[in-house]
């Protein structure tokens, strides 16, 4: 039961959220002596709130995917087998209340009560994604990818933004621009992965009346669209290496070995991908690329100092 629960909330993704946010706080902000707002405990609460809301989103997504998962994930289905739908719904409610409640507390703590709306909107979008938005062509993928990017942006909104003064405005804006760069990277990689997952789930989606890119235009044409979108993050990373990392050999090697090379491998193999196993491997590769890309946040202290 405990293992099933960990799988249900996608514990690997939650660990990546924690690692990313803590790297931003302690490997990026602290390394450069950036003015911040949240204490260690308050930052822990922000991270915990993010994790709770993300976990709740994963649960409600599986609740409304029961019929589809019977086709797409016969051996991996959790809700409706190991964990009942009612128990999953209860878990979703508890995690959402905790996440939004902490968000409300933190928003008032930093003197920005309006920021509590961020947590409410994110939770609402995750619910709408599970119940309706995922059925809309492209829109569902873009929404969920935007929420992935918010994992990074929310740290800047709660830790950087309230600490801005006329004296540190330039430094704070540079840090925020770095966060936005990583948020864009996370958005694009997750969008690619969502489209690849649509290729994996095409049978179940079709049989349950859902629409997706491969259903709408065919798997072969969908591959071409994914390929074109995949060129965007690859180009941006190469530009980033040339513009910011060129003088740091180890950072260049890291980016080339763990981001650029795997992205090229992904694009090359995508062209001929046809089977579920091939798409599953490509999806796993994108996740690995995202992990290494986000972990590179810890390199900035060696690049800029």
pLDDT over 70, % of the chain: 96
Cα separation, 21 vs 158, in Å, equals 12
DSSP 188: H
Number of domains in the chain: 1
What is the per-residue pLDDT for 41?
A: 97
Cα separation, 245 vs 277, in Å, equals 36
What is the per-residue pLDDT for 74?
A: 66
Mean pLDDT along residues 16-25: 96
What is the per-residue pLDDT for 166?
A: 87
What is the per-residue pLDDT for 42?
A: 97
Residue 15 has pLDDT above 90, yes or no: yes
What is the per-residue pLDDT for 246?
A: 75
Confidence band, pLDDT 50/70/90 cuts, at residue 303:
low
- Mind spelling out the 3-state secondary structure of 24-72? HHHHHHHHHCCCCCCCHHHHHHHHHHHHHHHHHHHHHHHHCCHHHHHHH
What is the per-residue pLDDT for 1?
A: 54
What is the per-residue pLDDT for 196?
A: 96
Condensed to tens digits (0 to 9), the pLDDT of residues 121-141 reads 999 999 999 998 888 889 999
Mean pLDDT along residues 283-296: 94
Cα separation, 222 vs 274, in Å, equals 11
Condensed to tens digits (0 to 9), the pLDDT of residues 207-256 reads 877 888 999 999 999 999 999 999 999 999 999 888 877 777 888 899 99
Cα separation, 226 vs 166, in Å, equals 43
Q: Angle between the 40-63 and 85-109 helix axes, to the nearest 10 degrees?
A: 150
Q: Which helix (H) or strand (E) holds 221?
A: helix 219-240
What is the per-residue pLDDT for 265?
A: 97
What is the per-residue pLDDT for 248?
A: 76
- Quote the domain boundaries for residue 236: 2-304
What is the per-residue pLDDT for 13?
A: 94
Backbone angles phi, psi at 137, to 5 degrees: -60, 125
Residue 305 has pLDDT above 60, yes or no: no
Cα separation, 245 vs 252, in Å, equals 6
Nearest one of 106, 108, 107, 150 to 126, comparing CA atoms = 150
**Cα torsion through 131, 126, 279, 19, rounded to 10:** -160
What is the per-residue pLDDT for 134?
A: 87
Residue 145 has pLDDT above 90, yes or no: yes
What is the per-residue pLDDT for 190?
A: 97
Residue 68 has pLDDT above 80, yes or no: no
Confidence band, pLDDT 50/70/90 cuts, at residue 178:
very high
Mean pLDDT along residues 49-58: 97
Q: What's the mean per-residue pLDDT of the chain?
A: 91
């Amino acid at each position: 039961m405990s293992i099933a629960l960990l799988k249900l909330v996608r514990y690997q993704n939650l660990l990546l959220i924690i690692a990313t946010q803590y790297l931003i706080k302690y490997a990026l902000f602290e390394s450069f002596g950036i003015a911040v707002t949240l204490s260690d405990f308050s930052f822990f609460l922000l991270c915990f709130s993010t994790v709770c809301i993300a976990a709740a989103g994963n649960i409600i997504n599986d609740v409304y995917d029961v019929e589809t998962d019977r086709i797409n994930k016969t051996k991996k289905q959790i809700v409706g087998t190991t964990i009942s739908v009612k128990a999953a719904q209860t878990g979703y409610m508890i995690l959402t209340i905790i996440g939004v409640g902490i968000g409300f507390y933190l928003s008032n703590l930093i003197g920005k009560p309006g920021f509590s709306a961020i947590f409410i909107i994110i939770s609402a979008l995750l619910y709408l994604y599970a119940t309706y938005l995922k059925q809309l062509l492209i829109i569902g993928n873009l929404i969920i990818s935007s929420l992935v990017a918010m994992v990074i942006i929310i740290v800047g909104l709660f830790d950087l933004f309230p600490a801005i003064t006329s004296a540190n405005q330039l430094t704070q804006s540079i840090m925020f621009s770095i966060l936005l760069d990583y948020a864009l990277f996370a958005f694009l990689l997750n969008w690619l992965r969502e489209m690849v997952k649509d290729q994996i789930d095409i049978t179940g989606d079709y049989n349950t009346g859902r629409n997706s890119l491969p259903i709408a235009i065919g798997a072969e044409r969908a591959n071409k669209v994914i390929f074109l979108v995949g060129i965007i993050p690859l180009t941006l990373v190469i530009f980033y290496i040339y513009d910011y990392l060129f003088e740091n050999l180890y950072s260049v090697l890291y980016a080339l070995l763990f981001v650029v090379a795997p992205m090229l491998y992904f694009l090359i193999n995508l062209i001929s991908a046809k089977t579920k196993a091939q798409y599953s491997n490509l999806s796993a590769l994108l996740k690995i690329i995202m992990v290494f890309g986000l972990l590179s946040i810890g390199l900035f202290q060696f690049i800029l100092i």
